[in-house]
């Protein structure tokens, strides 16, 4: 297909498309078991004030409750933090004696934050964030301290972003406002259909709908991708996430088939390759299927080479010009070969290998002018192009989930359609 039209589309999208994120309104945050903010909270008193011996100073300290937010540095223990801030070590001993609190107070990691309220060093409460959703809360009552693990609800927001490839997949992701991790996960969803190292082109575009986890107005992290579309050289690929009742999930195409196939297209760690790979500086020699009928992936030495499919190791050693080579035997009389490796992962001839398992590492052993993976795919001994060979379709979604899948997926397909319409109207303007 011509490159001119997609390139024109690219620039139009860059001005409007990439800013086009749709953030769902935040659901109201339900905080379970939140303690009411103490009205007397004051900024931390300077140390000198704490040690003030004047009667007026003491009276003020005894009535004022001070909030401390302690940030744990490497080497810190709770005892050090208590000493440094003039907090009661007797209170610390009482709190660490509580069954619910002991373990969580003993294990401090740099970056942890501990919130303490106290009156002149007498601890009233302590809170430590344990993970995204739980907080250890220790409070003083009339008889002593008691500890609780509180659960704070996390808001899940749906975010939709659209990007167009101008130089590289990861740069397009960044321009669209998504992290490398989300970009990588998206590529992971389509790795059975698209060779993200060799087949991505300027003008390819994508839409990704994913979750963000927020708590109390602060974004914690990105969640799962719920739907995605990648248009590669004009061919659209779509997938939605479907969660089974047991909690397992997988990605399915519009016709209800798993995205997973017997072979992935590019058997290298594409994150490592793609992130340093600029389409505008594509290697002129390594870009094509050569006469030897393998595919060459230029990649830094040491990049992981992974099994394209489940199989059994039938060769592991030096094979003439291919240097360090691995051959896998798969079902259906298919073999795959991986050459020029710098070293092997640990397994033997005869070992069973799972798809995606690391076989070895990119190198330039044998006759190679630079570090690259030489990859071959043969059916009944005949070379096929692994990037385009038709793979048997994956298993469909189980019949009992079909109706539910259609219902769950419908709004997501519609959301992806929205970008399709924007694309067409932009292209025809
Ligand atoms: Zn080669």
Q: What digits encode the pLDDT tens for the residues 177-219?
A: 999 999 999 999 999 999 998 889 999 999 999 999 998 888 9
Distance 350 CA to ligand 1 centre (A): 25
- H/E stretch holding 324 reads strand 324-330
- 3-state class of 181 per DSSP? helix
Distance 268 CA to ligand 1 centre (A): 14
Alpha-carbon span 65 to 69, nearest angstrom:
13
Condensed to tens digits (0 to 9), the pLDDT of residues 101-144 reads 888 998 889 989 999 999 999 999 999 988 878 899 999 998 89
CA distances (Å), 385 to each of 66, 234, 376, in order? 69, 20, 8
Distance 293 CA to ligand 1 centre (A): 8
Which tokens in the block code for residue 8? 């024109």
Alpha-carbon span 166 to 6, nearest angstrom:
10
Distance 357 CA to ligand 1 centre (A): 21
Distance 296 CA to ligand 1 centre (A): 5
Distance 274 CA to ligand 1 centre (A): 19
Are 298 and 372 in contact by the 8 Å Cβ rule? The answer is: yes
Condensed to tens digits (0 to 9), the pLDDT of residues 53-86 reads 445 445 544 568 999 999 999 989 999 999 999 9
In 28-146, alpha helices (H): 47-50, 55-63, 78-84, 89-96, 99-106
How crowded is residue 131: how many other Cβ atoms within 10 Å of its Cβ? 7
Distance 386 CA to ligand 1 centre (A): 13
Distance 367 CA to ligand 1 centre (A): 9
Alpha-carbon span 340 to 369, nearest angstrom:
10
Cross-strand pairs, 213: 156, 221
Alpha-carbon span 276 to 271, nearest angstrom:
9
- Give the CA diameter of the chain: 94
Distance 376 CA to ligand 1 centre (A): 8
Residue spans in the chain of domains classed CATH 3.10.450.350: 1-30+154-261+396-429, 47-151
Distance 38 CA to ligand 1 centre (A): 69
Decide which of 412 and 11 is more confident: 412
281 pLDDT exceeds 80? no
Cross-strand pairs, 240: 227, 252
Residue spans in the chain of domains classed CATH 2.70.70.10: 264-392
Which CATH fold topology does 47-151 show?
A: Nuclear Transport Factor 2; Chain: A, (3.10.450)
CATH architecture label of 1-30+154-261+396-429: Roll (3.10)
Mean pLDDT of the chain: 82
For domain 264-392, is the CATH number 2.70.70.10? yes
DSSP at 346: S
* Mean pLDDT on 30-37: 35
Distance 292 CA to ligand 1 centre (A): 7
285 pLDDT exceeds 50? no
């Amino acid at each position: 297909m011509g490159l001119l039209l997609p390139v024109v589309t690219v620039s139009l999208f860059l001005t409007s498309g990439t800013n086009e994120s749709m953030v769902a309104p935040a659901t109201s945050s339900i905080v379970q078991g939140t303690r009411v903010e103490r009205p007397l909270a004051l900024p931390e008193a300077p140390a000198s004030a704490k040690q003030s011996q004047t009667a007026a100073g003491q009276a003020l300290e005894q009535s004022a409750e001070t909030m401390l937010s302690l940030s744990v540095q490497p080497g810190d223990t709770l005892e050090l933090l208590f000493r440094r801030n003039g907090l009661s070590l007797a209170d610390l001993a009482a709190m660490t004696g509580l069954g619910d609190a002991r373990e969580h107070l003993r294990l401090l990691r740099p970056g942890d934050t501990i919130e303490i309220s106290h009156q002149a060093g007498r601890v009233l409460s302590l809170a430590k964030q344990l993970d995204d959703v739980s907080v250890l809360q220790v409070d003083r009552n009339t008889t002593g301290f008691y500890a609780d693990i509180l659960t704070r609800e996390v808001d899940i927001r749906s975010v939709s972003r659209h990007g167009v490839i101008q130089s590289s997949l990861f740069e397009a992701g960044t321009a669209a406002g998504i992290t490398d991790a989300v970009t990588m996960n998206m590529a992971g969803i389509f790795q059975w259909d698209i060779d993200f190292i060799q087949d991505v082109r300027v003008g390819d575009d994508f839409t990704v709908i994913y979750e963000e986890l927020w708590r109390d107005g602060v974004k914690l992290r990105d969640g799962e991708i719920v739907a995605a579309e990648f248009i590669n050289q004009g061919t659209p690929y779509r997938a939605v996430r479907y969660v089974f009742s047991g909690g397992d999930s997988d990605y399915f195409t519009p016709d209800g088939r798993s995205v997973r196939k017997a072979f992935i297209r590019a058997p290298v760690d594409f994150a490592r390759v793609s992130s340093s790979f600029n389409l505008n500086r594509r290697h002129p020699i390594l870009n094509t299927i050569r006469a030897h009928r393998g595919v060459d992936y230029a990649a830094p030495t040491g990049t992981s080479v992974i099994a394209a499919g489940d199989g059994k190791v039938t060769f592991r050693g030096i094979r003439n010009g291919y240097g360090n080579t691995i051959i896998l035997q798969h079902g259906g009389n298919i073999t795959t070969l991986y050459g020029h490796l710098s070293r092997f992962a640990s397994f033997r001839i005869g070992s069973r290998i799972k798809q995606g398992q690391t076989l070895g590492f990119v190198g330039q052993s044998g006759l190679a002018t630079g570090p690259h993976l030489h990859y071959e795919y043969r059916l009944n001994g005949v070379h096929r192009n692994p990037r385009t060979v038709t793979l048997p379709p994956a298993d469909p979604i189980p019949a009992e989930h079909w109706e539910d899948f259609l219902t769950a997926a419908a709004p997501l397909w519609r959301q992806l359609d929205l970008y399709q319409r924007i694309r067409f109207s932009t292209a025809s303007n």
